[in-house]
Amino acid sequence: MAAQAYLLGSFTEFHRLGSFQRLNLSRRIFGCEQVDDEIMRVRKVLAQWGYQLGRDEDTLLPNVLGQLFLFNRSPHLAEMSTDLFDRFRTDRMLRGARMNTLYAVQRAVAELGFCDPPRARTGEHSVRATGGAPVWQQWADRWHATSTLTPRPRGHVRSTLLKVGRWLAAEHPEEADPADWTRQTCAAWVAALDRMNVGDYVQRTAGLGDRLGKPLQASSKEGHLAALRRFFDDCHEWEWLPRRFDPQRALATPRSIAALLGPDPRMIADDIWAKLLWAGLNLRAEDLPVTTSGHFYPLELVRAVTVTWLFAGLRSNEIARLRTGCIRWQHNDIPIAADCDQTQARDAVCLLDVATNKTGTAFAKPVDPLLGQVIDAWQAVRPDQPQLLDRRTGEHVDILFAVRARRISTGYINNTVIPMLCRKAGVPDADVRGAITSHRARSTIASQLYNAKEPMTLFELQAWLGHRSPQSTQFYAKISPNTLARAYTDAGYFARNVRTIEVLVDRDAVTSGQTAAGEPWQFYDLGHGYCTYTFFEQCPHRMACARCDFYTPKDSSKGQLLEAKDNLQRMLASVPLTDDERAAVDDGQTALDQLLQRLADVPTPAGATPREIGAPATATLLPIISVNQGKSG
């Protein structure tokens, strides 16, 4: 009946008939030989790109081609047009995995020269979004069609503009036209945004989960304000709207929001990072995720992507945009071929060419030779791929990590590689600072290079990371607690600010009662003599004794007798030093002379001043105190 309807009634709506063997129907109508020959042509092209075809269970490709033949009323690939594939997508004639097969078929037919390749879908999701007054949406669409931003950020700005349009329709319908906006309208939007919750004025709430109803994060508020600033700046620059206010001032980020913003690269703990390194270096085929048709990507590609993430310190977008031949080897500044045995030499330098990124132009960086060997291993088995569009540069280039005529997605590392490594290493995929993401590896590698035994300087690290400004590098170059602890210890803060003086206690004087008669019983060892003044820590002359009655030189007979006593108890007293006294201890003779001059008219514990005693204005530098950091003798 289906064949009769097709032949006699021009019926082509086979997608409405449910499940049946469209391939068999196509063979009955056009002939088995003709249909199978055309299917084989597509198979050969896809096999060159790395598609695993020819299996008994592979039925998607023949069925999709059979349905295309029936709808086009021709079994010839040469008669398939771009409009045919667009019609299948627009009318949703295929579902699920068949849509991916349709994409592959169109790529193959385009390679044969019969149609255009499928268009990139990046940013199309935002075009379908609607909301707000028609006039506001028209302005948003006009800006979207004119802006020179890349598709993804352009789509994000348009989505934000539509959200503003829904807010206008609900709160300020009289100002739906951007030409009617004033500073008061801007202030009202900033105030509303500051109190906005997740899910307010959105077209759909699917996927928001438990975040629905919670306050917007500071970064989201800043993104909304930046999008609106961009819109009005462009409209003023293009002379679409009269300049009635300055968007940079009227839509500036409030201080309360700006205080919560700032780059915060999150490092991964050293022990977890070491386990992830081990897992990446010992990756096996059984560790790879398995789909119904087997491994989605070859092991060599997955291993190359993983090692690149672990060693290169690149953003996920930069990894996905690496090009074939990005690895170069050199020895003593002389380039060497990748297949030369010298690439295995210990002194061979491996350079990685990084394409133009969001902060700078293309550059080369040295990487571990292991990374170069893994990438060379993938390039040796990489199937030939058609050139793909680099959306940032607008060039058609040979993407390194591409198979089946498609590059890996920028989310492949976050969604597949990191969970796979965490499972193999036996570590959680999140820590106290949040989920382990692709960008955290960049911060971790930068911090380890900055805190190494022979660390990279800030400017060297800036060149290695590809930053345009050293200020950006400072956010990544985190000083580790161990490095900070070593620096703190070497600075000697405790030894500099807490000095200890040895105290001698004469037990005989205490037990015999001589202390009641004024006999000294406590002596402070100053190194060059002893002080018997009980309140030594309060004496202004304690670092420069000026022939005080409480001072006993060590070379005197009394000092020798005191040293000879075998029943003296020793202890330590902490004495805080002033800045002048610390300088006298640390800086030597000059500081001591200055201290003596300032103390010339200060009374000693005995009552007389150094000037009255006749002490010299300068002194011979002697060992003053013995410094200890313990508090028990």
Q: What share of the chain is helix, strand, coil (3-state, %, to 5)?
A: 50, 10, 40
What burial class does residue 373 get, using C-beta atoms within 10 Å of its C-beta: 0-12 exposed, 13-18 middle, 19+ buried?
A: middle
Cα separation of 424 and 420, whole Å? 6
Q: What pLDDT does residue 306 have?
A: 95
Please name the amino acid found at residue 160: T
Residue 139 CB: number of other CB atoms within 10 A?
Answer: 22
Q: What pLDDT does residue 282 have?
A: 93
DSSP lists the bridge partners of residue 360 as 357
Q: What pLDDT does residue 333 have?
A: 67
Q: What pLDDT does residue 94 have?
A: 80
DSSP lists the bridge partners of residue 366 as 351
Cα separation of 281 and 276, whole Å? 9
- Contact partners, residue 562, CB within 8 Å, separation at least 6: 504, 506, 523, 530, 552, 568
- Catalogue the E-assigned strands of 428-546: 430-431, 434-435, 498-506, 522-525, 529-531
Class of domain 270-476: mainly alpha
Q: What pLDDT does residue 559 have?
A: 62
Look at residues 46, 2, 8 and name the one whose alpha carbon lies nearest to residue 22: 2
Q: What pLDDT does residue 497 have?
A: 56
Look at residues 295, 524, 528, 235 and name the one whose alpha carbon lies nearest to residue 416: 295
Tokens describing residue 481: 């607690």
Please name the amino acid found at residue 396: H
In which residue ranges of the chain is CATH 1.10.443.10 found? 270-476
570 by DSSP, 3-state: which? Answer: strand
Query: In the chain, which residues have pLDDT < 50?
Result: 54, 56-57, 122-127, 342-343, 621-633
Cα separation of 435 and 440, whole Å? 9
Cα separation of 84 and 142, whole Å? 29
pTM, full prediction:
0.66
Please name the amino acid found at residue 436: I
Please name the amino acid found at residue 63: N
Q: What pLDDT does residue 628 have?
A: 40
